[in-house]
Amino acid sequence: MILRSLVDGNRLDTLVDNVNFDLTCDLLCVGAGCSGVYLSDSAKRLGADVILIENEKTVGGMHTVGGVRGYYYGYENGAFMEDDQFVSENSQLAVDSANQWLKQVAMIKRLESAGVKTLFEHSPTGVWLEDDRIVGLQVFDGNKLINVRAKITVDATSDGHIIIMAGAKTRMGRPADNKTVPFSVISNYLWNDIRCGVNQDAGEVNQYDVKDFSKKLLLAHKDTKDTFKKGDFLYLATITGVREGVSFEGEHTMKYTDLLVGNTPENVLFWAYSDLDRHGNDRAIDDELFQNWWVISNLATVAMSIPVPIKSLIPKGLKGLVSAGRCLSCDSYLQSAVRMIRDMFRMGECLGIACALAINQGVDIDKIDYEKYLSLVKDTGAFGGENKDFAFNSPSKKVPYVPIDLNPRNNLHLLDTTTPGACIWTCFLNKEDKVLVEILADKMNATKSLLEKYNCAIALGIMEQKIALPVLREIVNNRDCFYFTDCRRSNQFRSAVAICLLGRLGEIQDATLLESIVFNDTEFEREMYHTLENNYLYYKLPDRNFVYFDVFTHALAGLVKLYKKLNLNLSELNEKIKKVIKDGKVVDRIAYIKEPHQPTFVEITDFLTLMLKQTEE
């Protein structure tokens, strides 16, 4: 048998002839967070012998000690609602299960009632393997090392600690730069006798680099001092939320591209519900399809049902090990969506049922009788809706549920409004429709409405039709800070949208136009960069000149694309970018706080560095 452990971040395999296991069980769950608690509970109630180990002395993870008390998206059903009811009945402070102390009481009562053996202050130090199968863990109980054998081991640590230790292939960040989204810190204060919480972006961090994590965490907490001006300080959360952590290569990898075009995988474990909530603002270097969705179609806050297949929780090539929580086999964009608190509860409950069924049937979890699984899980309500509609839907429920009609001809009227996103997206989905192209071209050329003309050009641009170029140039030449209003936040500037499309479709004259935006010092004197007030509809934190940031980054990223597409002299562009970096004017114009840990400073400096690298021949 092999003991696989991590020593200074490196995996070490030790061959051991005879292993004495101190404890045995059917299912060993590591992590008593949002998923781990409900997973252990549901598996135990279906007859599995369950051991739940937790590094801390708490349960609930980010939802309780992490301070994420309320809910955002995620389906409203499953066992967690019983615990929320307990909190509501026993606390005057509870709003959306907001009393994290009572929520822990409810969760502990749940585990005790089910008969789950829970071991607090136990830390895994190694993984036991027989060939390619995980058969248990070596655990430090605070005094000594013990060995626990299990038929199925679940990594519910939220960041893949066991999966990393076991040797699965992992990754972090998006393809363009391997960059993760900002982490968050949560502060709580009392204002007018109401307990309030602030969850703010705090910059990119490597949680596996002790020095980097410690430094940035301290700086982030220091920055929360401004929130205390609003009221009396109560406390800082003792667990820090890393919105996007580790992902791994699984037996199935979830891709946002499949989600956006409606491909549903086999053997869905449960359905999540969210928007593609990838924090950060440097959209100019996102994937083109994601730009089509978020930037050009302006659908940032459109919510959707997300099928999560069983195989996306299984590390490729490793048996007996599954993941629960936001550490999944998926791309960076989907990882931003499958992480809502309610969905993590429900994922745990569903996976516990699947694990118990696998144990009962004597098979690996991906080989269970799926119809039997569905019959069990749907009775709980935790499976979620199979509703595939994209919809403008607010988590606060202040905005009614409005499904998007995916027939572009039914959406053409939207092109004469400030909310053309659904039409633009459906035009992209039907970009091979020649009749639709003719309809849009006729409308663009005949309309007396400037709004409709410009929106038609954007719709044609996303369909890769060069007939839109003259009007797209007109938008960019007349650039202003007009923004669309489809979404309740994160709305896009029309000028940046047109710039983004010029970077894809443009010609030599468009390269010259974009250069005038990026390298001309008089650009920043334009009124558009100095008149628009901070607004939640497109941005809510006054730490940057957001209009200039958006226009500049899209213009430079588009310029790099054009130089490559048109075979222009990349070395000349590289030298120009070096001068921009050296004189520091762009960074000064954009970042109001010039400190290395500030999200704005990091975003613009990292962006410039990436553009420099992309123009090196």
Amino acid 423: pLDDT:
98
Calculate the CA dihedral of residues 597, 601, 607, 610 and round it to 10 degrees.
Answer: -50
The amino acid at residue 518 is V
- 527-537 pLDDT, tens per residue? 999 999 888 89
Amino acid 389: pLDDT:
81
**Of residues 164, 179, 306, the one with CA closest to residue 249:** 164
Amino acid 475: pLDDT:
98
Residue corresponding to tokens 């994922």: 347
Name the pLDDT band for 462 (thresholds 50, 70, 90).
very high
User: Per-residue pLDDT averaged across 102-108, rounded?
Assistant: 94
pLDDT of residue 94 exceeding 60, the answer is no
Residues with Cβ within 8 Å of residue 435, at least 6 apart in sequence: none
pLDDT of residue 86 exceeding 60, the answer is yes
- Better-predicted residue by pLDDT, 427 or 89: 427
Q: What is the DSSP letter of 355?
A: H
User: Quick check: 79 and 42 in contact, CB under 8 A?
Assistant: yes
pLDDT of residue 454 exceeding 80, the answer is yes
pLDDT of residue 236 exceeding 90, the answer is no
- Better-predicted residue by pLDDT, 61 or 9: 61
Name the pLDDT band for 118 (thresholds 50, 70, 90).
very high
Distance of CA 589 to the CA centre of its chain: 29
pLDDT of residue 399 exceeding 70, the answer is no
CA dist 60 and 100 (Å) reads 8
CA dist 246 and 255 (Å) reads 15
pLDDT of residue 238 exceeding 80, the answer is no
140-149, 194-203, 251-260, 580-589: range with lowest mean pLDDT: 194-203
User: Per-residue pLDDT averaged across 274-284, rounded?
Assistant: 92
CA dist 500 and 15 (Å) reads 55
Name the pLDDT band for 328 (thresholds 50, 70, 90).
very high
The full length of the chain comes to: 617
State the number of CA atoms in the 13 A half-sphere of 308 facing the CB: 33
User: Per-residue pLDDT averaged across 365-371, rounded?
Assistant: 97
User: Quick check: 186 and 349 in contact, CB under 8 A?
Assistant: no
**Of residues 130, 114, 35, 87, the one with CA closest to residue 347:** 35
Amino acid 126: pLDDT:
98
Q: Where are the beta strands (DSSP E) in 487-561?
A: none
Distance of CA 50 to the CA centre of its chain: 31
Amino acid 230: pLDDT:
62
Exposure string of 77-87, with b = 16+ CB inside 10 Å and e = fewer, is bbbbeebbebb
DSSP assignment of 242-306 equals: -SS--EE-BSS-B-HHHHHHT---SSEEEEEEE------S-GGGS-HHHHIIIIIS--TTEEEEE
- 241-260 pLDDT, tens per residue? 788 889 999 999 999 999 99
Amino acid 96: pLDDT:
47
DSSP assignment of 18-35 equals: ----SEEEEEEEE--SHH
- 542-573 pLDDT, tens per residue? 788 999 999 999 999 999 999 999 999 999 99
Amino acid 101: pLDDT:
84
